[in-house]
Every structure is written in structure tokens, then in C-alpha cells.
Amino acid sequence: MESALRAKASSPKPDKSPVSAANASDANAASTAAASPGADSGPSAAGAQLIDAFIDELWSVHGLADNTLGAYRTDLYQLDAFINARGATLIEVDTLLLRDYLEHRVKLGMAKTSSARMLSSLRRFYRHLLTCGVKADDPTATLESPKLPRQLPGSLSEAEVERLLAEPNCDDPIECRDKAMLELLYATGLRVSELVALSMSELSLRQGLVRIVGKGGKERLVPMGEVAQDALESYFKNARQALLTQGATDVVFPSSRGQQMTRQTFWHRIKLYALRANIGTELSPHTLRHAFATHLLNHGADLRVVQLLLGHSSLSTTQIYTHVARTRLAELHTKHHPRG
């Protein structure tokens, strides 16, 4: 294993793996972005080979999503460019140089959350190199993560959600599609990336279920509820065919060009309806996912059930929603209790 990886690093060859082919544009973008944190050039050929082998393993063994793989690739390309400019390689790097790099990012004004994510990428990469025998030590072992303030996810009240979901005009095919998407998103707590990639084979209106393959290739079944079912049936009957201008597609929610919609496009659609509904709350692409979890807990749902529905691998990830629910309950108590 060690000799094979060292050979890849020293003798670059065209990479024909599924990941590299699918993410060629991501790699090019990452190479361009590599200069942004102060690096003098893009990644070295040897560094790119090591990084690509690591990305291939994340894809083939761990089943990480393309967006996550792209983030890892960008982080590591930036590191490689930085240390190459200082006469070192990914294999030669030590803890002191990594600490210099992280401090350099802070001086450039990078947010603590960005540094924490970068350090997470570095740790996983160097544990991979250690396991493969490419590097004899883990230079990230003694690096401390930056202390981050606990940020509660933004959410909407139930009244605000109702206003948002009522905005699309179902006489228009695109807005009828958006209505079904919003209803399904709030009913199931899907990630936006999962929603836009949803295929017809993953949807069962008869059973009222959505089958999702989420992060890490983990599959989950999520009930959608009658309101979302009605919105989907209306969309399939009255609007979807009008969007298939380029022929048939398995994507449930095609764009106006008949192709899979991007996350960014749907995010813009959400902001449009929020503006029309006069919702002043700051939104994010995951706002309805957060509302789904918070409102379930407000109405007494078990935390582990919410964990399963959201597809969280760890209960601690889901627990942050209990803080949102408690905050909301405290506000209601203060507002309505005679001794509040």
C-alpha cells in the first residue's frame, strides 16, 4: 500500500477513477481557489495525486456526497499550495508548519468555522496517510480545534411556515412545482441537496413514503404526510409534464429546462417566496429542515425519532434542536403565563 501510494505521488498519471472524472470541474475550481488563502500557486502534481487517491477512498469506501468531496479537495489543494511555496510536501509537513498555515488563515480573516472545517479535513487526510503507511506520524494529533460559539439553527414559526407554503401560485407550472417541493421539504426534513436530486423511483405516493440515500450512503424511509401527498399529486397531474421540454427525466422536480435543479436555484426560489410572504426572518437553505425538526419537538416528538427522520448518524447532532425548542417554549411561557 505504501509503495503504491508513493509511486502515485512521484509519477503522476491521468486519473480515470469515477470520482475524478465526475469531479474534474471541481478539481479545476479547487486549483484556482488554492491561491486564495495566501498560497503562491496551485497544488503540486505529487500532492494532487495523494489528494485524489484520498478523495477516491472517501467516495468508494465511505460514500460521501460530491459536495463534501469537493470541500475536502479544495481544503487539501490549498494546504498543498501553501506548503509547497515554503519548500515542503504533504508527506514532509510537520505540526509546526500546519499550525503556521492555520494561523495564516486567521490573519487573512478566515472565520473560525472555516478553520474548524479545514482542520477536520486535515485530520482525516493525515489519518488516511498514517493508516496507509505513507506517513509515519500524524501532524494533526496535537492541533487544537478553534472554540466555536454554539450557534442554534435558524428556524421559522409555524405561522411563518404556513405563510411561506401558501405563496406559490399553483396555476403556474413552475410555482406548482415549487409548492410541492416546499411542502415535501417541510413534511420530511430533507436536505435541499436530497430534495433536488430526488428521483421518481424514490417516491411512493401510494405508501406516502420517500426513500433517501443520504450522507455516507445511508438509506432512510421518511413519511411525507397527506398535505405533501396532495401537493405532489397536483403537481404530477397539472404541472410536471409542462417542465419536461427536453424529454423524459427521472428527476421528480426538473428545472424550467427539464433538467435537475441546482441547490442554488431552489434557494433563490425559497427567498422569492419569503419576500412575497413578508417574512423578515433570516433564511438559509436548511430553514425548512430546521423548522421540521423544531416543530416536531415542540409537539412532543421523541428525539431519537427526529434523529432517524433527519438522517443524523449521531444523536448529539440532533440535540441542538432541543435547545431551539426550549427557547421557543420559554418565550411562550414568558408571553402567556400570568407570572411569566
| DSSP classification of residue 313 | S
Write down the catalytic residue from 191, 269, 290, 295.
191
What is the DSSP annotation of 215-281?
GGG-EEEEE-HHHHHHHHHHHHHHTHHHH-TTS--SBSSB-TTSSBPPHHHHHHHHHHHHHHTT--S
**The predicted structure's pLDDT at residue 25:** 37
End-to-end Cα separation, the chain, in angstroms: 65
Sheet holding 203-204, edge to edge: 203-204, 209-213, 219-223
Give the contacts of 171 (CB within 8 A, at least 6 positions apart).
none
> Any alpha helices (H) in 11-154, and if so which ranges?
18-22, 24-33, 45-60, 66-84, 95-107, 112-132
Which DSSP helix (H) or strand (E) runs through 185?
A: helix 173-188
Please tell me the distance from the alpha carbon of residue 192 to that of residue 250, in angstroms, as a whole number. Answer: 17
**The predicted structure's pLDDT at residue 313:** 55
Catalytic: 286? yes
Q: In this structure, what is the dihedral angle of CA atoms 292, 308, 72, 79, given to the nearest 10 degrees?
A: 90
| Contact by Cβ (8 Å): 151, 327 | no
Write down the catalytic residue from 105, 128, 177, 312.
312
Catalytic: 191? yes
**The predicted structure's pLDDT at residue 201:** 92
Catalytic: 215? yes
Which DSSP helix (H) or strand (E) runs through 187?
A: helix 173-188
Give the contacts of 278 (CB within 8 A, at least 6 positions apart).
163
Q: Report the amino acid identity of residue 9.
A: A
Q: Label residue 258 exposed, middle or buried (CB < 10 Å: 0-12, 13-18, 19+).
A: middle
* CA 247 to each of CA 59, 195, 239, 244: distance values in angstroms, whole numbers, following the listed order: 31, 21, 15, 5
Write down the catalytic residue from 215, 220, 323, 328.
215
Give the number of C-alpha atoms closer than 13 A to the C-alpha of residue 274, restricted to the C-beta side.
20
Write down the catalytic residue from 289, 290, 335, 336.
289
Write down the catalytic residue from 73, 286, 290, 295.
286
Catalytic: 312? yes
Catalytic: 186? no
Structure confidence by residue, pLDDT tens digits, 3-46: 444 444 443 333 434 444 334 434 443 443 444 554 446 678 88
Write down the catalytic residue from 72, 235, 273, 321.
321
Which DSSP helix (H) or strand (E) runs through 155?
A: none
Q: Grid coordinates standing for 333?
A: 411561557
Per-residue pLDDT of the chain (340 residues; tens, 9 = 90+): 444 444 444 433 334 344 443 344 344 434 434 445 544 466 788 889 999 999 999 888 887 778 888 889 999 999 999 999 999 999 999 999 999 998 898 888 887 778 888 888 999 999 999 999 999 999 999 888 776 555 555 678 889 989 999 999 999 999 999 999 999 988 888 888 889 999 999 999 988 988 887 666 677 888 888 999 999 999 999 999 999 887 788 999 999 888 899 888 998 999 999 999 999 887 877 788 888 888 887 777 776 767 767 765 555 555 555 555 555 545 554 655 455 4
